[in-house]
Amino acid sequence: MNCLQSWPEPIVRVQALSESGIKSIPERYIKPSLQRPNSVKHGDRDFDDSQINIPLIDLQSIYSNDESVRNETLSCISNACRDWAFFQVVNHGVSPELMKQTREMWREFFNLPLELKQEYANSPTTYEGYGSRLGVEKGAKLDWSDYFFLHFMPHSLRNPNKWPSLPPSCRELVSEYGENLVKLCGVLMKVLSINLGLQEDQFQNAFGGEEIGACLRVNFYPKCPQPDLTLGLSPHSDPGGMTLLLPDENVAGLQVRRGDNWITVKPVPNAFIVNIGDQIQVLSNAIYKSVEHRVIVNSEKDRVSLAFFYNPKSDLLIEPMKEFVTRNRPALYPPMTYDEYRLYIRTKGPCGKAQVESLTSSP
């Protein structure tokens, strides 16, 4: 039997657990002590990240008539890609109204009665629908979150009948939100191409041109009575190309790895958080590298985030582009389709950067 056909254990909705009023969390959500939010690898328990944030970019400036303003912005994005693999963008062209409405609509979805959400219960064959785990390993420690996963692109995989019919605005908002984000990802792909000295369409073409993949994962992190023992989402890098995250505006939770520390992202109003995924690491032959991130939870507030994944066409071979392969820097990764690549996380669940690093001996 294909190991990805069904979940290895009965699915428990974390939101239902949280709402049941339990004071201590079940064993299967308790992480080993070194993986807990407050564990520090090399002993700096007093590390304070309150003054540090990922770079903030005003995207409007890439359209400036002033060439020096344009170049300055491109160079800020280039530094952010190399140094953090994460940045926030404001003035990105997506209406703050649409962002807010879409996020609040999803919050309403998660607040619907359990029976209604169960109609969309997912399986590991496609992951589409309402889910509560990533990975199919029996006995694995689980994360403190539920999610809804849907395909937006390519068109052949877009099936609004698999999207929630409630709230009534869901399908229309997801369509409009998706169209806007695909456009924004197109702009960012051009920026990344130019910054790497390529023709502006080269990354997009390497992703399959018009036939790129795009999917939305809406994460719901319920309140947790023992937030120090678990994680909302374990450390991982995003397997795809590039991610645009719309975080909750009321509560922080995303943390980005920087050396041995985890930096909490302080969300800026109306911004998207952009990050580089493993496929861009492969295409750029590790000039840009994806970075591990995780989510912490808290006992006071639940949190909703929308992760929009922009991916290569799933059956194209992705390998380091010839522009980045030289005698001194041979290709670090073998060719692989994204379909093959993502089986790893879909089987094992979040595993830091283990997958992309396992592909090469000299990262």
Minimal distance, residue 151 CB to ligand OGA, in Å: 15
Nearer to Ni ion, 73 or 237 (CB): 237
Q: Is 54 in the site for ligand OGA (CB under 6 A)?
A: no
Name the residues that contact Ni ion, by CB under 5 A: 238
Instruction: Quickly tell me which residue has 């039997």 as its tokens.
Output: 1
Mask: binding to ligand OGA, 201-220, rule CB under 6 A, as x and -? ----------------x-x-
Nearest CA among 267, 220, 159, 167 for reference residue 14? 220
For ligand OGA, which stretch binds (CB under 6 A), given 103-111, 127-135, 182-190, 245-253?
Answer: 245-253
User: What DSSP element (H or E) covers 193?
Assistant: helix 170-195
Rank residues 221 and 324 by Cβ distance to Ni ion and give the closer one.
221
Tokens of 180: 């806007």
CA distance 233 to 31: 11
The one among 122, 180, 305, 314 contacting ligand OGA by CB under 6 A: 305
| SS3 annotation, 286-335 | CCCCCCCEEECCCCCCCEEEEEEEEECCCCCEECCCHHHCCCCCCCCCCC
Complex with ligand OGA: residue 17 or 233, whichever CB lies closer: 233
Least distance to ligand OGA, CB of residue 293, Å = 5
The DSSP call for residue 179 is H
Q: For residue 328, is it left (φ>0), alpha (ψ between -120 and 50) or beta?
A: alpha
When binding is defined by CB under 6 A, the residue of 59, 99, 181, 233 that contacts ligand OGA is 233
Site string for ligand OGA, 268-297 (x = CB under 6 A): -------------------------x-x--
Closer CB to Ni ion, 128 or 238, in the complex: 238
Beta-carbon neighbour count of residue 43 at 10 Å?
8
Q: Which of 143, 146, 238, 302 binds ligand OGA (CB under 6 A)?
A: 238
